């Protein structure tokens, strides 16, 4: 690491002790000290004493804490890795302790949407426009005084990182120093880091692919092969790009690791929660049965609902997403949904370029 890196002088903070947050903390610990936040004191005690969390062995350079102020007082560079559902609340809790000189690189692939009390994004009567969608960087800017914001995204399955398999990621930010500090802190012999200045497009890419992972899981659950999977990934990429450009993003980021790279990883790995939901649907389970028996709700379920509602309000044709929505929320049989897609007149091949 360069001598000017903030992580040479300060520990790096990781907020969120889930599977991916733990994997990120272990990566960062290879290069320096890490303060690791969990809101549950029981988890903090286990991490510090037993040196294990979410099935992952904890690096010696990591120390856990349940004190957000301790993290912000001691860490200049922060990596929030919490669910999109709780992200805004966590930022509000951190806000009194944050300073304008903090840098924040979030690892959350999800959207924040402000809804009327009592409403959820799964409600069928919700109408969404692109302006209603908040990325996590927008939440950080809205809720805190931190201005130098970035995100980490790409084909980064937590279990593979935890098993020390080689991988690559993208750190995106409008600020070159955020990219430089993030790369310096996390790059290692097993993680290659690439840069991108279009943080909005990278964030959208990381979220919108979740719906295609559900469809991929359904294909896998039905026992179909790689021809069908390649068809889905290619056409799915087109739908993602069309929707993202309607939301104001540039398409270039979708052709890199954060776009096609992440899409391939999540559509071809049974390790993905979204893939698992699709596979269970294909085997005859209902969405409610899947939700009731899952420890975490797959982000793709919400993404499908959001994408379908955005397609309705913008007039964009997204046939894959439309039929995934019908399978999830309207009881359409997965095999029947596939039949409709095979009969759909697609038109020009690379119609998103």
Q: What is the pLDDT of residues 71-111, one digit of tens each?
A: 999 999 999 999 998 999 999 999 999 999 999 999 999 99
Confidence bin at 4 (pLDDT 50/70/90): very low
Range list of H helices, the chain: 19-29, 41-50, 68-74, 84-94, 136-143, 158-162, 176-186, 199-222, 226-246, 262-268, 273-282, 287-292, 299-314, 319-329, 334-343
- The 10s digit of each residue's pLDDT in 174-203 is 999 999 999 999 999 999 999 999 999 999
Classify domain 201-343 by CATH architecture. Orthogonal Bundle (1.10)
Confidence bin at 352 (pLDDT 50/70/90): low
Pick the residue with more confidence: 129 or 9? 129
Positions marked catalytic? 209
Q: Which of 32-36, 211-215, 322-326 has the highest mean pLDDT?
A: 32-36
High-pLDDT (> 70) share of the chain, %: 95
Q: Region 274-284: what's the mean pLDDT?
A: 90
Q: Region 11-40: what's the mean pLDDT?
A: 96
pTM: 0.91
- Lowest average pLDDT, out of 87-101, 251-265, 292-306, goes to 292-306
Confidence bin at 5 (pLDDT 50/70/90): low
Q: Where in the chain is the domain with CATH 3.40.50.720?
A: 6-197
CB neighbour list of residue 327: distance below 8 Å, 6 or more residues apart: 218, 281, 333, 334, 337
Options 3.40.50.300, 3.40.50.150, 3.40.50.10490, 3.40.50.720; CATH for 6-197 is 3.40.50.720
Average pLDDT, the chain: 91
Q: Region 110-124: what's the mean pLDDT?
A: 86
Residue among 105, 109, 53 nearest 80 (CA): 105
pLDDT of residue 2: 41
d(CA 107, CA 252): 21
- Looking from the CA of 338 toward its CB, the CA atoms found within 13 Å total 21
Is it the case that residue 3 has pLDDT exceeding 60? no
Q: Where in the chain is the domain with CATH 1.10.1040.10?
A: 201-343
């Amino acid at each position: 690491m360069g001598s000017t890196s903030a992580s040479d002088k300060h520990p790096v903070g990781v907020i969120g002790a889930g599977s991916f947050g733990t994997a990120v903390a272990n990566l960062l610990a290879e290069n320096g000290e890490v303060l690791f936040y969990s809101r549950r004191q029981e988890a903090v005690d286990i991490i510090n004493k037993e040196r294990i969390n979410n099935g992952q062995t904890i690096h010696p350079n990591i120390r856990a804490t349940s004190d957000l102020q301790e993290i912000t007082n001691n860490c200049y560079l922060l990596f929030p890795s919490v669910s999109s559902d709780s992200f805004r609340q966590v930022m509000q809790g951190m806000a009194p302790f944050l300073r304008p000189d903090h840098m924040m690189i979030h690892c959350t692939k999800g959207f924040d949407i402000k809804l009327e009390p009592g409403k959820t994004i799964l409600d069928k009567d919700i109408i969404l426009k692109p302006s209603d969608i908040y990325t996590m960087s927008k939440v950080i800017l809205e809720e805190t005084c931190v201005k130098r914001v970035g995100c980490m995204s790409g084909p980064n399955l937590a279990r593979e990182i935890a098993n020390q398999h080689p991988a690559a990621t993208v750190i995106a930010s409008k600020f070159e120093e955020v990219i430089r500090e993030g790369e310096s802190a996390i790059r290692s012999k097993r993680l290659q880091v690439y840069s991108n200045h279009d943080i909005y497009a990278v964030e959208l890419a990381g979220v919108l692919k979740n719906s295609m992972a559900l469809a991929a899981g359904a294909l896998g659950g039905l026992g179909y092969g790689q021809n069908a999977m390649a068809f889905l990934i290619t056409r799915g990429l087109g739908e993602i790009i069309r929707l993202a450009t309607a939301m104001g993003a540039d398409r270039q980021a979708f052709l890199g690791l954060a776009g096609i790279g992440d899409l391939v990883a999540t559509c071809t790995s049974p390790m993905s929660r979204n893939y698992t939901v699709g596979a269970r649907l294909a085997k005859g389970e209902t969405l409610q049965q899947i939700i009731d028996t899952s420890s975490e709700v797959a982000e793709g379920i919400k993404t499908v609902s959001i994408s379908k509602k955005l397609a309705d309000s913008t007039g964009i044709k997204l046939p894959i997403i439309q039929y995934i929505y019908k399978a999830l929320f309207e009881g359409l049989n997965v095999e029947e949904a596939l039949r409709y897609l095979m009969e759909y007149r697609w038109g020009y091949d690379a119609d998103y370029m």
